[in-house]
Chains A and B, each alone.
Chain A
């Protein structure tokens, strides 16, 4: 099976994506420390304007979980120059779309607009970097919105609740173990004072990255950035991003959870895993390839083949790893059993796949096909300039450089089968793992 098609592997000799006419990337820096990245795509007269801050949930003070995300919400509430509601209104009447997002290592704001509105977006974003105005009433109402958001995203979803517990068990000391949206009791206590403190500490040009993607030239973006962001004062008191690190993890952790709202059992196993390090990304590259080989898309991965086809124990399986974080995060495996298959049987089957991978490796053609696909993916990605902007934003807020982003595809291509086996042997250390079971009563007896 697949022999005929394998002939096409040699047929995929792609030009490097960098040679395509769309997607050129350049950078600049302003004297006040603001970093700029420009991604050119002149197929449509549209731009994506993003401002990223090197501040996220893992930078919050103790007992203030959810603060970074709360501040993100409050940034839409008005400034010395704009009254309440004016920000949304200006975006709306300029035909724009915008939003914001918060993660462990960053907070980002973005707008998509016609190219001639770029300067206005910069003006708005620069204004709220330094001129935010809040009061008790605004903070009280927005805190209710965030509590509703937490109910929607987490408390109404048994899977999200279990995942929150799993992270809390995976990270015994590092703030990656806290929920980004915050624990409910801590959100309830977030104050105006907390919000302004965090804002004043982290919102400054030398802690921000400007990314403009779309129908622009690097020259015009730089001129506009100087005009709107150039006068903002740099912060002289930016804290160093040093978070509490994990102690040696010497004991596997296990969680079970059952919830009357959940009718489909599954298991999630996570292992502590190193992150991409600037200038030394080979280890993370091997883990990335391992995640695809073990549990990438569909039935061609090792877990898919073994669990979904050969043994018929799972209806779905997946593995993922994202090394793009400031500190070590995790490598995750997920599987849903077929009716009648217990979670223990499923877990045993996963462990057997892992043991076999470490001992015997895998068919070499898998890696060739994966590499061909990833080379093609670099071309497909050029179609989505907003997605590429996010890739740069995530990297530059997690200690990586533009060069790291640009060399990453080649580092991935250089990964060998031996590298992947070695990465597997190292990362799959049960003592550094959490195994969580979503238990549904009576599942084993179902037909």
Chain B
């Protein structure tokens, strides 16, 4: 049967500062929506295929199953074993990447115009018909266990994992994306097959593409690519409530430097004050020129780097997080400076001058993200997975410009509470008293 190929351009969006990029929304003949940019100057296309859910769909007791399942997609399909699949991809000069995050599975493909159909037919076999042979499972399991062993000697991983447990107890967000030694060891082939069916379904699918391809060609390709995927998968997890309370946890590990991460309640991305909070954080801890970097690195030489950022788990559970490293002897002082800056922001807000610089930085640098097919495809994918509105790229800079010092003063005084700051410190910090009893090596 010949299927009529038609693609409708529903909306034409453009990034203001990058007027040459036109983001289109396309619906395939089969009804799959995609965001895409036609950019024919280089003969390849970057395709981003995402599935909402990701590691947050792992069932109880099978932590890491989505991640390991995704890793196995490139380890064989049909009569192709891992080597055969890799050789086929090499022969087509196609580049595939498979990644699992807390809230999504992300598959990216860079394929040449001249053999696009063949390359994506190969990718389809990996996505829709993975073999999950025992041999491949055994190899990937060994690789995962080695990776977990390495993570467990990394202060940043240990602190981050403890923070996840404190932030979202009982929720899937508290689990490590790549599993634990015990959970990975216990996974069976059935678990992986079952997770594939549950996680990679049409209702979780998100597609974006940038490059040398037309809307019609893309519509036809994504229908083919998704052919055979189940219609519905397991439902996405319920909204999570950020639950960490103020205090300090210490994970004792032998290392000359402590890594401190912190978390603090944020606000929903639907909140009318969200952009004010976002700009406020940029002034507080958004890289070089921010208050934390200036106070801790430039003025005191206490750290190589300090950052503060919003963590979007889903639109409704957003918290403010940060990370810093400092010598064991100085990390307590660093935490005091962070608390002082937190207080200062909560009580004084920001100056007109600071806000002006932050706005210029945020609006001026937005265009810098849109400078490559693969980067743009990734942004379009993230925006869909994180449920940003369709016209977000058009309005984002206006939202930033609309923030006032009064907005920031209000949101800072309402949101920031130094007493609610939770620190987790991994290392051998001196002069630091833990406020909980979780003082043990994990």
Chain A 238-261 near chain B by CB (<8 Å), digits 1 or 0: 000000000000000000000011
Which residue, A6, A8, A9, A375, has most C-beta atoms of chain B within 10 A? A8
Expressed in whole angstroms, the minimum distance between the Cβ of A319 and any Cβ of chain B is 16
**Out of A8, A13, A95, which one reaches B361, CB within 8 Å?**
A95
CA distance A315 to B150 in the complex (A): 13
Expressed in whole angstroms, the minimum distance between the Cβ of A373 and any Cβ of chain B is 5
Q: Does B81 contact A (CB under 8 A)?
A: yes
Which residue, A41, A155, A383, has most C-beta atoms of chain B within 10 A? A383
CA distance A91 to B146 in the complex (A): 42
Given the interface pairs A94-B360, A140-B301, A143-B301, the reply to whether A382 lies near B42 with Cβ below 8 Å is yes
Q: Could you say which residues of chain B place their CB within 8 Å of the CB of A160?
A: none
A8 touches B91 (CB 8 A): yes
Expressed in whole angstroms, the minimum distance between the Cβ of A215 and any Cβ of chain B is 9
A97 touches B83 (CB 8 A): no
- Stretch in A60-68, A144-152, A344-352, A390-398 touching the partner: A144-152
A92 touches B288 (CB 8 A): yes
Given the interface pairs A263-B149, A383-B46, the reply to whether A372 lies near B93 with Cβ below 8 Å is yes
**Out of B44, B139, B303, which one reaches A379, CB within 8 Å?**
B44
- Stretch in A43-51, A271-279, A402-410 touching the partner: A43-51
Expressed in whole angstroms, the minimum distance between the Cβ of A182 and any Cβ of chain B is 14
- Stretch in A14-22, A196-204, A225-233 touching the partner: A14-22
Given the interface pairs A92-B357, A145-B301, A261-B153, the reply to whether A151 lies near B95 with Cβ below 8 Å is no
Q: Does A369 contact B (CB under 8 A)?
A: yes
Expressed in whole angstroms, the minimum distance between the Cβ of B151 and any Cβ of chain A is 9
Which residues of B70-89 have CB atoms within 8 Å of chain A's CB atoms? Answer: 79-84, 86-88
Chain B 355-388 near chain A by CB (<8 Å), digits 1 or 0: 0111011111111101111100000000000000
Expressed in whole angstroms, the minimum distance between the Cβ of A139 and any Cβ of chain B is 10
Q: Could you say which residues of chain B place their CB within 8 Å of the CB of A33?
A: none
Expressed in whole angstroms, the minimum distance between the Cβ of B155 and any Cβ of chain A is 7
B356 touches A384 (CB 8 A): no
Q: Which residue of B lies closest to A336 (CB)?
A: B146
Expressed in whole angstroms, the minimum distance between the Cβ of B92 and any Cβ of chain A is 5
CA distance A359 to B166 in the complex (A): 58
Q: Tally A-B pairs: CB < 8 A.
A: 236
Q: Could you say which residues of chain A place their CB within 8 Å of the CB of B46?
A: 383
Q: Does A88 contact B (CB under 8 A)?
A: yes
CA distance A379 to B357 in the complex (A): 38
Q: Could you say which residues of chain B place their CB within 8 Å of the CB of A263?
A: 149-150, 152-153
A156 touches B255 (CB 8 A): yes
CA distance A377 to B253 in the complex (A): 43
Given the interface pairs A43-B20, A93-B361, A148-B327, the reply to whether A1 lies near B79 with Cβ below 8 Å is yes
A92 touches B93 (CB 8 A): no
CA distance A436 to B109 in the complex (A): 36
CA distance A143 to B19 in the complex (A): 44
B114 touches A300 (CB 8 A): no
CA distance A117 to B90 in the complex (A): 41
A12 touches B80 (CB 8 A): no
CA distance A22 to B211 in the complex (A): 12
A21 touches B41 (CB 8 A): yes
B288 touches A1 (CB 8 A): no
A45 touches B297 (CB 8 A): no
Q: Which residue of B lies closest to A213 (CB)?
A: B371
Q: Does B300 contact A (CB under 8 A)?
A: yes
Which bracket fits the contact residues of B? Answer: 35 or more
CA distance A8 to B91 in the complex (A): 6
Chain A 138-173 near chain B by CB (<8 Å), digits 1 or 0: 001111111011011001101000000000000000
**Out of B90, B288, B372, which one reaches A383, CB within 8 Å?**
B372
CA distance A91 to B371 in the complex (A): 19
CA distance A347 to B153 in the complex (A): 24
B80 touches A46 (CB 8 A): no
Q: Does B299 contact A (CB under 8 A)?
A: yes
B86 touches A298 (CB 8 A): yes
Which residues of B252-303 have CB atoms within 8 Å of chain A's CB atoms? Answer: 253-257, 288-289, 294, 297-303
Q: Could you say which residues of chain A place their CB within 8 Å of the CB of B88?
A: 2, 4-5, 8
Q: Could you say which residues of chain A place their CB within 8 Å of the CB of B42?
A: 20-23, 379, 382-383
Which residues of A343-396 have CB atoms within 8 Å of chain B's CB atoms? Answer: 365, 369-370, 372-373, 375-377, 379-380, 382-385
Q: Does B405 contact A (CB under 8 A)?
A: no
**Out of A20, A156, A309, A316, which one reaches B256, CB within 8 Å?**
A156
A339 touches B93 (CB 8 A): no
Given the interface pairs A20-B43, A44-B371, A300-B90, the reply to whether A141 lies near B301 with Cβ below 8 Å is yes
A142 touches B301 (CB 8 A): yes
Q: Does A308 contact B (CB under 8 A)?
A: yes
A2 touches B80 (CB 8 A): yes
CA distance A299 to B305 in the complex (A): 37
Q: Could you say which residues of chain A place their CB within 8 Å of the CB of B58?
A: none
Chain B 330-365 near chain A by CB (<8 Å), digits 1 or 0: 000000000000000000000000001110111111
CA distance A9 to B112 in the complex (A): 13
Q: Does A85 contact B (CB under 8 A)?
A: yes
B302 touches A112 (CB 8 A): no
B92 touches A8 (CB 8 A): yes
Expressed in whole angstroms, the minimum distance between the Cβ of A382 and any Cβ of chain B is 5
Expressed in whole angstroms, the minimum distance between the Cβ of A163 and any Cβ of chain B is 15
CA distance A2 to B327 in the complex (A): 53
A155 touches B93 (CB 8 A): no
Chain A 93-128 near chain B by CB (<8 Å), digits 1 or 0: 111110000000000000011100100000000000
B257 touches A151 (CB 8 A): yes
Q: Which residue of B lies closest to A440 (CB)?
A: B149
Q: Does A81 contact B (CB under 8 A)?
A: no
Q: Could you say which residues of chain B place their CB within 8 Å of the CB of A20?
A: 41-43
Which residue, B80, B91, B289, has most C-beta atoms of chain A within 10 A? B91
Q: Could you say which residues of chain A place their CB within 8 Å of the CB of B21?
A: 43-44
Q: Could you say which residues of chain B place their CB within 8 Å of the CB of A380?
A: 44, 95, 110
B112 touches A376 (CB 8 A): yes
Beyond known contacts A44-B367, A114-B367: 10 more, CB 8 A cutoff: A2-B83, A5-B80, A5-B122, A11-B114, A12-B112, A43-B371, A85-B298, A300-B83, A336-B146, A372-B93
Q: List the 6 shortest-distance A-B pairs measured between CB atoms, nearest first.
A: A95-B364, A144-B301, A376-B93, A5-B88, A141-B301, A149-B304
- Can you name 7 A-B residue pairings with CB atoms under 8 Å? A14-B93, A45-B19, A95-B364, A149-B304, A264-B153, A372-B91, A385-B371
- B residues within 8 Å of A by Cβ? 17-21, 39, 41-44, 46, 79-84, 86-88, 90-93, 95, 110, 112, 114-115, 118, 122, 139, 142-143, 145-146, 149-150, 152-153, 155, 253-257, 288-289, 294, 297-305, 325-327, 356-358, 360-368, 370-374
